[in-house]
Structure 1
Amino acid sequence: MNKDHVEVLISVYKKFGNANADTTNIKMTDMNENGIEITCNDDVIFVPFITKVEDHDGYKDAIIELYASVKEDSSTSKVQKNMVEFMDSFKTLVISSIKDGQPVSSYSPFVKEGDAFYICISSVAKHYHAIKQNPNNISVFFIQDEKEAKSLFARVRVSLNVVAEFVDDAKRADIMDKFEKLNPNESALSFIKTMKDFYVVKLTPKTGRYVKGFGAAYDIEGLKIANEERVNNPHIKQH
């Protein structure tokens, strides 16, 4: 193994394994169409390829693709920018709430203002009562479309623990105006804004996690990346 090969292994290991480890004794101990196994001292991790290898000639391209993803700028500012752009690409969010001890899954269109999300929900809906009952036990979720993901097991996603607050009439009117500006072709809004059973709820993020893919998970505080370090959770190949 030459110097360049060792550099690749070290870079990959530090992303998917222990970023602070002594990598003097590092080597690749196995490889198949799904990924590579790296051993560093007594630590063994399995790193999946971004794209599964279809034939022998594909291994080189798979390793180059993996290495390129590792070398991509991963500064906090870049990660933060990517996360915000990802969330801003959505017009709806997935909501998880609790009613009478039972989970409720739903969704809602939203307006983002500052570091908060505003949703419009009807008192007829099950999630309205869940949010009313447990305003401090709510999670919202953004996830990459299956068709755009390179791997179904590594879809880009953001999950946020949020606190809910029902807004007053003045704020409701302001947010409904913003809904109309953001969705000028949404004819239902002219009806919804006149209905008394539709409420606007402010969702304030507290903590969460942003996952860019395998080996790239970041903790969130509010809507900010908590720190530059990825969550250290290496994949271990089953023997």
Structure 2
Amino acid sequence: MGQSLDPMTQKQSKDELLYQQAIAGNVDTVKALCSEGAILEWIDRDGKTPLIVACMDSGLYNVAKVLIEMGANVNAYRPGRHAGTPLHHAVKRGLEQTVKLLLSSGANALVRNDDCQTALDVARIKGNINIVRTIESHICYFTGWLREFYGPGFLRAFAPQFLSRKIWAAVIPQGSSNPMTPKKLELVIYPSSQDVQPRTVIALWNAEIEEPNFNRPDPEVTIFDQSTKTQYKLASANEGDKQQLHCLYDACSGVPQMITEFRKQVLSF
């Protein structure tokens, strides 16, 4: 009479089998094992869960989708030399569709890895413009084209069009190792929408933000960065577009763009 396997041994082997089937891309088997009680968070010797593995290979997109649908932790953290969440790993490999899947499924884009990098930082380092813009648009309080004024103020009064330049800007929360800490906002300025590395990052929690005079034909917001003692004057991309400047000012004050857009819709009725 053969000995029966220890229940814990059976359970562990089923969990590991799910992991192996995920790597092999066998979606139906993964579903079946999950319905039989296999745990989705089994960790291999390198600290990878089945979802992390699926987010490291473009060919395993459907596996990642199924694992998430079955309840896999989209924010599972892998420590060590190759640290990060599934989002970090998808970004590192330039898997744009997987990145979108994770973000739409609740992945926290503000988590920092052991190298103190968010997924956005990794995307910038890798130079992947599509993923940079995807993450920014997901987490931003504001994003879009603006005009930045420069040069002496008295010259701007005579020829503002010659002393302004188009910039791409985003107001985004700073990354954190602790998701429970209050969000700190940054104003990130790029020379264009095709640049992955920002030209300027302004810590808004350490800046003075002057409310625009919306009675003026072409109002501007003035931001004084106290850490660098630098003053920035920004206006809407299109002269006289007060709604966009409202969005920017609200965002710098901590009001997300979607709330600002909702306010505009309510006011339009």
TM-score grouping bracket, smaller chain normalisation: under 0.3
* Higher RCO structure, 1 or 2 (CA under 8 Å, sep 6+): 1
Q: Which has the larger radius of gyration?
A: 2
More helix by share: 2
More strand by share: 1
